[in-house]
Structure 1
């Protein structure tokens, strides 16, 4: 049955003669240590051709204007040196990179709510963010990274300070010659004002699809139609292809209800729900000409001890969802840019 479904899906794909070569990506999580060639092999095994590398900057609170990054107190993979080593190791193994610097707010508060209390604080925060973004834009150019993501889930910052973002994009273009995107949250992307200035519309695709504990394929596909129509319309109106800068599901009951949840809830492990939701998402979006691919959330370098049948977190590693990724990413591995 699985082979028959894959065959039918491949026929649909082959009819999309103008389809872009897809970014079959993983979100490659920073570690305390350097990454080895051996640790890249599981990424190759699922036919991923891209990985998102995510160096971090930190702020103390949602209204604190100081942004700290590339610090000795950070994990190796979160720093410039670590990001450079990760990029080089992946590239050596034939995997392209999207460099995607991100902010972490102390205690894990949502970055989309970052909002300064005064104009002077905004200017101070902007200065720090510009330094952060430009540091990694230069690294992206130095290492030949084909895609650079200028920010991740920063809605209040984007809407409050649009002139800053226009200026930042122009400044980045002066030092970086690759493609630019921004990772908008699933409920943010329709309000961001700068898509025409970038090369890709980037969306962290945690869209709610169903309230059911264990929704089936038909329910999940129906759940996507409203969102898919809106995403396609924005792509059409801007002339920009879409990438899912993050996508994925937790391996638990109610996985499609609030896919963005990162809490430590004890919902029952449901490996098949994660696998099905992953398959449906790929089947809905990868065949579309206006869709350029996505980066599954998330992939740890220590593959042998990540995920597994008792884990209800996001990673697909050592779960049925990993096999889904392998099957469908392999399907697109030979797709050529038209």
Structure 2
């Protein structure tokens, strides 16, 4: 389960945040968590990522979250993400392929991104995190193979654990540098009745690169209409636990038929959790207090039992 995303500075090292993570572990049966947070660049064509400023959580908060997860027996993937302050989705961060005077450049953006990732790569090394995710859904950057390979090489100098990159949905076969990573991961926001077709496509990538695979993100809002377009967090609709639950059943069933799908970092579980009594009216991705919570706990318990037998 992904924990903490959209948490801002000052919201993690609290009793409510601790309770949120503890509740996540107790009610879902997860054994891994992706601790996710954002640094903010101004626009999709800005070249500076000032990760040391608000609203990004502090190093101390990140270390606290990792230690808290470890105390609950969870394995940890640290997931630093970059977002745009103007609301543009990070997938649209993009620059000219050839340098043009007076225009923002890939080399400047990657230099800033490198500093951001290398800074936070030191923390999982110091805290014994099992995995580091070095990027999330930055579709327009995927074609910059040389820069990504150089960054991976630099990360390996400071972090000795597993390294992955979270490509966006439908992009698994557009990344040419999976061989430089330890694990292939992607966002599994596929329509409820399209899992077979998409898994067939992804399987070819897994076979080509012969790497472990899991869904670094996967989930569906508890909202009418969301199972057909689970990646659209702006879709308007009534709160609908049953629709989310149907999506989770189908996702677990279809992925369970593919032994190369190693698992999920479900999306998502906030650091500031709503009251359980409010679950019926919450239409977001979090499964706390909803039908999908029990479905997840049962699926994970069955997986653990199968692994022991």
Normalising by structure 1, report the TM-score: 0.82
Give the conservation status (yes or no) of the 8 Å contact 2:185–2:213: yes
Which shows bigger deviation, 280-289 or 291-300? 280-289
* Helix, strand or coil at the partner of 2:60: helix
| 1:7-41: CA deviation from partner (whole Å, max 9, x where unpaired) | xxxxxxxxxxxxxxxxxx33443352315454332
Matched, 1:44 2:25: yes
Higher relative contact order (CA 8 A, sep 6+): 1
Q: How does 1:1-338 map to 2 (within 5 A)?
A: 25-29=1-5, 30=7, 32-36=11-15, 37-45=18-26, 46-71=28-53, 73-74=54-55, 78-117=57-96, 119=99, 121-159=105-143, 161-209=144-192, 220=193, 223-263=194-234, 265-305=235-275, 308-334=279-305, 336=307
Q: TM-score, normalised by structure 2?
A: 0.90
Does the 8 Å CA contact 1:69/1:79 hold for their aligned counterparts?
Answer: no
For the residue of structure 1 that corresponds to 2:227, the secondary structure is coil
| Deviation sequence 1:66-94 (CA, Å, 0-9, x none) | 111032x225xx33221111000110110
Structure 2: gaps spanning 5 or more residues:
none
RMSD of aligned alpha carbons: 2.0
Return the offset for 1:208: 2.8
Go from structure 1 to structure 2 and tell me whether the alpha carbon gap of 1:74 and 1:86 turns closer, same or farther (over 3 Å shift). same
1:14 equivalent in structure 2 = none
SS at match of 1:284: helix
Superposition deviation, residue 106 in structure 1: 1.6
Aligned residues: 297
User: Structure 1 stretches of 5 or more lacking a match?
Assistant: 1-24, 210-219
Specify the SS of the correspondent of 2:73.
coil
Give, in whole Å, the separation in 1 of the partners of 2:12 and 2:159. 27
Task: Quickly say closer, same or farther: Cα 1:51–1:126, change in 2 above 3 A.
Answer: same
Alpha-carbon distance change, 131 to 93 in structure 1, aligned in 2, over 3 angstroms: same
